Amino acid sequence: MLAKSFKRRILLLYISVVILFLLIFYQLFRLTVRNQEMLTDFAERQHNLVIEIPPERGVIYDHRMQVLATNLRSPSIYAVPRLISKSNIKKLAAILSRILGLDQKYLSDRLLRDKSFVWLKRRTAVKEAEEIMSLENPVLGVAYESKRFYPHSEMLSNILGFCDIDNKGVDGLEMLYERELSGRTGYRYTKRDALGREIVSMEQKLIPAVDGADLILTIDKHIQFYTEQALNEAFLQWKAKAAIAVVMNPKTGEILAMASRPTFDPNFRGKSDTASRRNRPVTDIFEPGSVFKIVTVTGALQEKAIQLTDTFNCEQGFWRARPNRTIHDVHPYGILDVPMVLIKSSNIGTVKIAMKLGDKKLYEYVKKFGFGDKTGIDFPGEVVGIFRPLDRWSKFSITSIPYGQEVAATALQMVRAVSVIANGGYLVKPYLLKEIKDSKGVVLSHREPELRGPIVSPAVAETVKGILERVVSEGTGKGAYMTDIRAGGKTGTSQKLEPNGTYSHSHFIGSFIGFAPVEDPQLAMFVGIDDPHPLYYGGTVAAPVFKSVIERSLWYLGYVPPAVKEGEAAAGTGEIRANPTFSSIS
């Protein structure tokens, strides 16, 4: 009986062993045959390591190859959590919190992750990185990343924009030309050990990174400096809400300077708000006011609706143009000829000129000068402005639009409009990017000026140019007058709208628009001061900014007034005065 029972047990044991071996063989078959591909892939993923090689972001230059935006090597702190004993995490987090100025719980959470690599603080200060290195802790390390740097701080910041923590453009030209600037990421294919660390000697393949292309702008750093300096002084002096300035080559559309106040430092953008980062010459609109009279008078002269010698009764500053519609002048004037209507900036005289031109023709010339359409500048966020179609004009429109009411425009549209007079009748397309070069200096693209027209004849443009010179020498624009440089321009003082939709009697925008030198205009400029106090007339708050910028810029560009040339020639020196140097600009 016992022998029988023993035999059964031996048999069961044999059967169990056979079954066990069958299971083992089945598992071996499953691992080596059925799931071989899946397991091989899994092993490859565990041991293969693909390391990204970031490209160097392209540099942004002004048109004289002065650096406006570049890159610095900045330390970033990382940790290898898999090498950290859990019992040491709290102590290590406390030490890191003191050095890096980060929350201890945040650091503890990152150190507890089951990963072979985590960032603790990116693009930190060199001092903090040195302290981390001094700990000589094998679970901590410092890696150097590229960080965008703007050497001129606030200067040009509203145009350049800025990059995020990953060096990707998120505003301004940095965002618009992200694809060109960013380059192409490279890759290194290698192996890693069980702890996820790279085995350098087992590198398999290398695909080099392609660095980003460089941008060469139309901006001139020196003219930008003069513009920002003068605009900032006016912004502070007149306690303004905002201020805008644009300097452009009137013959080509190249933007030489563009400034906004308030502004920000892109190196510390976290301290700024959205309003200070706005590029106001492109995004903000306002009623042009009296500077718009240039369009009205030019259109009337081109259509021969008026002659220069025609006179208009300016009604001593008070005229009922329509029932329930009264037009005022700042000062009472009687009979004025066409040039004096502009020189004295008479609203009444301008409306009477517009009535001779007629609604339809006035509309056509406003459109010809580019209002109601985008300029097409290469910058994100440009607005179209406000200019209603002719069929939506009211019976009062002809009494408002001629001197810049019922119209809203950007500073860029205004400087483009005055350039029509400065360049002999052509509408130019403003642009900021002159050229793109790759990292080896090969030109990838080059921008050429785009002109439309002529929209008025050279003779009419020359006539209006002469009137605008008189505005500066004897009219409302005397604040822009320069002894050695002939300039033409027009002042503007527009009322802002109150919340209830009525025109304010205490909030204004003072502006000036002009060009110089009159004999061969090289620069056109718009200046706008938003809500200045206590004075607000454009001739007082904006014209002096134009004078300061244009005078310094023309000397810098090598301009020598004809009178100076003649004087030196008469003296027999044959020498031309050298450009002044400005040591404050680097």
What residues act catalytically?
290
Structure tokens at 35: 């799931």
Helices 293-302, 359-368: axis angle to 10 degrees equals: 110
SS (H, E, C) 26-87: HHHHHHHHHCHHHHHHHHHHHHEEEEEECCCCCCEECCCCCEEEEEEEEEEEEECHHHCCHH
By the 10 Å C-beta count (0-12 exposed, 13-18 middle, 19+ buried), 197 is classed as middle
Q: Give 578's DSSP letter.
A: P
* Amino acid residing at 76: S
**Residue of 155, 222, 66 whose CA lies nearest to 558:** 222
SS (H, E, C) 197-230: CEEHHHCCEEECCECCCEEEECCCHHHHHHHHHH
52-69 burial, b at 16+ Cβ within 10 Å, e below that, comes to: eeebbbbbbbbeeebebb
Q: Strand, coil or helix: what is 586? A: coil
Q: Name 493's bridge partners.
A: 510
Measured CA to CA, the distance from residue 48 to residue 460 in angstroms comes to 74
Q: Name 509's bridge partners.
A: 494, 530
**Residue of 220, 257, 249, 217 whose CA lies nearest to 545:** 257
> Residue 361: CB partners within 8 Å, gap ≥ 6?
299, 303, 305
Q: Name 197's bridge partners.
A: none
Structure tokens at 340: 């004096």
Largest CA distance in the chain: 145
What kind and span of H or E run contains 582? Answer: none
394-413 burial, b at 16+ Cβ within 10 Å, e below that, comes to: eeebbbbbbbbbbbbbbbbb
